[in-house]
Amino acid sequence: MDNNKLVAVLVILLMKSSTAANNYNVVSFGAKPDGRTDSTEAFLGAWQAACRSAAAVTVTVPRGSFLLKPVEFRGPCRSRITFQIYGTIVAPSDYRGLGNSGYWILFVKVNRISINGGTLDARGASFWACRKSGKSCPVGARSMTFNWANDVVVTGLTSINSQATHLVINSCNNVIVRKVKLVAPDQSPNTDGLHVQGSAGVTVTDSTFQTGDDCISIGPGTRNLYMSKLNCGPGHGISIGSLGRDSKEAGVENITLINSVFSGSDNGVRIKTWARQSTGFVRNVLFQNLIMKNVQNPIIVDQNYCPANQGCPKQGSGVKISQVVYRNIQGTSRTQQALTFDCSRSNPCQAIRLHDIKLMFNGRSATATCKNIKGVKAGVVMPQGCL
């Protein structure tokens, strides 16, 4: 073999070894793709090896079904990590197997993490049955949670049958969620699609939410959230709140939702606050280019939320709502009242703008009810009766 050929072979071997060194397959760490063998320790082994790597690294979950018990992938790690999932990750068949921790797959203090592809199946049906029976049940596990993580990308992931919320972004910065599909039956309790709170710079695009609770719920301390090209329904719509449960609470600001479709959902776009004193606020929100198909409450602000009427001594919400724009929202309402602004008596909604709204009920204009609201309208606004 001449020198040139020898060099070429050596280069190929070096490239293969470096690729292998930067790719940790969970099967190499003992995971079994049979859906029955507990692969939790194997996943943790692959994670720990990846976390120690000085170079960018991939953890691969190949085709097949992998049983995972509650697991915590903890950082900080030395470099960027990509979870490339080709198969399905399943939870234990007995709902008690996810325990009382409140999570199934948890990422903590991890920076520069990507989750690509794959399916999560939390097998939530037996847990929902427990909830509905009124028996004593665990708290319910969120399928995938990111706590205190930065520079996160979740793309191409499907999550089905979560016990509770499918995907949680908590106290994170710079997160992209793209082309995800989060699905649970419409009667499954508290199976929110995505919950975001205490986070800044989150982008959610090109995704589908079909759930038993909110498609997306936006909690206190969320800033600079951009949502586009979403399909929501069945489910409870996209909700800012509930907010104002605590007297001292971080506000919500710079929220954008555009170019999205709601189909058969219980709400369209909702802002919901407790009827009690709070330092919270909602400001600078844009809802634009939205289509409602047979939606129960296409546009709703409810500042009198108080389950069982307990803990709301003056029935007045302290959460200040201002600078909310509703533009080019059209379609059909499942109920005659399509537009509801039930704002706080003590802190009326300020600078609300309705621009080109056309919501129909049974072939004619729907109705509106508005309390404690100040703002302007422009273009055609149907139903009338507000501002």
Q: Catalytic residue numbers?
A: 236
Burial class (CB in 10 A: 0-12, 13-18, 19+), 161: buried
CB-CB contact of 88 with 117 (8 Å): no
Asked if the peptide bond before residue 313 counts as cis, ω within 30 degrees of 0, the response is: no
Six-digit token string for 155: 């793309």
Spell out the residues 6+ positions from residue 86 whose beta carbon is closer than 8 angstroms to its own: 60, 61, 62, 63, 117, 118
**Cβ–Cβ under 8 Å, residues 40 and 69:** yes
Tokens representing 128? 């929902």
The label of the residue with tokens 């309790």 reads 189
How far is 266 from 186, CA to CA, in rounded Å? 10
Half-sphere exposure of 339 (CA within 13 A, CB side): 25
Q: Are 296 and 326 in contact (CB under 8 A)?
A: no
* Dist CA 112 CA 205 (whole Å): 19
Is residue 132 within 8 A of residue 99, CB to CB? The reply is no
Interacting residues of 215 by C-beta distance below 8 A, sequence separation 6+: 192, 193, 194, 209, 230, 232, 233, 235, 236, 237, 238, 265
Task: Identify which of 383, 359, 386 has the alpha carbon closest to the alpha carbon of residue 375.
Answer: 386
DSSP per position, 331-367 = EEESSSEEEEEE--SSS-EEEEEEEEEEEEETTEE-E
Return phi, psi of residue 272, to 5°: -135, 125
Tell how far CA 178 is from the center of its chain. Answer: 11
- The Cα–Cα gap between 30 and 13 comes to 25
What are the C-alpha distances in Å from 343 to residues 201, 203, 223, 237, 331? Answer: 28, 28, 22, 19, 24
